[in-house]
Amino acid sequence: MPHDIQLSDFEKGQIIGMHELEATMTFIAAALNMHELLLCFMFLCNRVKLREPTVP
């Protein structure tokens, strides 16, 4: 995970004092990271199986 964005978000949360916003930002970042991994996995699967493309 990009530590720069995480650090900036943490600093913003500390300055503003909103821990809920910080938690939601980290949760969204984790969800986006998982979505990226899922897309990469599906892309690789489609590259391997060119005969039958599985498009959701």
Domains of the chain: which residue ranges? 3-48
State residue 23's pLDDT score. Answer: 81
- What's the pLDDT tens digit per position in 4-22? 555 566 666 565 556 677 7
Q: What is the mean pLDDT of the chain?
A: 71
State residue 27's pLDDT score. Answer: 85
Sign of the torsion angle spanned by Cα atoms 12, 14, 20, 22? positive
C-alpha to C-alpha distance for 30 and 37, rounded to whole angstroms: 11
Mean of pLDDT values over 31-41 = 84
Cα–Cα distances (Å) from 3 to 10, 16, 33, 43, 54, in that order, read 10, 20, 13, 26, 34
